[in-house]
Copies of this chain bind each other. A is one copy, B any other.
Amino acid sequence: MAAYKRHIDTDSISELTISRLSIYLRCVDQLLEAGLETVSSQELAKRFNLNSAQIRKDLAYFGEFGVRGVGYNVRELRQYIIEILGLDRERRLVIVGAGNLGLALCHYSGFSKGNFLVVGVLDSDPTRIGDATPAGLLVEDAERLPEIVTQRRVDIGVITTTPAAAQAVCDRMVQAGLRTVLNFAPTRVRAPEHVLAKTVDLKVHLEELSFFLAHAGG
């Protein structure tokens, strides 16, 4: 019988498991579109180039969602993953840094669909404040971060400033009460232990490909 685990101890679960749950969600979405009702871990693995034992283990941290001899109900599994990841509630983002990347993300569907919602785009450059973003928001003064976080009930801060400004922006986000920060500036940012700050450096992936081109047989 399918059942959630009583309690989820976040510390005992690897970040790798969490990021794979996101991947599984994409896979399950595709299976749903294809009209499948049930799927075994083995079939999921074969279709999407994954490991079946790992799928089972990742899911088992959170409950018993499968039926032995049968597999997983696709629609149910999707709902379980959504609840585990907390994607059943709205998550409100504020983007600080209205440069190329910031403006792009604010109307990138990944950031503004499926319960993620951009509720503010801020910048400290006076020449940018007041500009209309492609998504129909106006760029606001970064000084107003604290009030905006409170009034618009922001959950996640997104940093798309220069690397030089990133740490100060992160500090002010923490100060304003945000507990999660996603940093796209190419520099590490530090945050107190109760805050989760992740850095995503898009250039790292390009540089990995460059390494491959430079050294793998040609």
Contact = CB atoms under 8 A, between A and B. Distances in A.
Contact of A213 (B49, B180, B205): B180
Nearest to A180: B209
B213 A179 contact: yes
18 contacts: A10-B212, A19-B207, A22-B208, A26-B188, A84-B214, A85-B214, A86-B210, A87-B207, A100-B134, A104-B104, A105-B202, A110-B186, A156-B206, A156-B209, A179-B218, A180-B213, A182-B206, A196-B208
Most buried by B among A91, A179, A207: A207
Nearest to A204: B22
Interface of A is mostly: helix
A48 B188 CA distance: 7
Copies in the assembly, this chain: 2
A188 B27 CA distance: 9
Given A108-B101, A198-B208, A22 B213 contact: no
Contact of A196 (B84, B93, B209): B209
B214 A86 contact: yes
B108 A104 contact: yes
Contact of A203 (B22, B214, B215, B218): B22
Contact of A187 (B30, B116, B179, B196): B30
B204 A23 contact: yes
Interface string A15-48: 1001101110111001000000000000000001
A86 B8 CA distance: 44
A111 interface: yes
Nearest to A195: B212
A19 B188 contact: no
Contact of A49 (B18, B110, B188): B188
A50 to B, nearest CB: 8
Contacts of A110: 101, 186, 202-203, 206
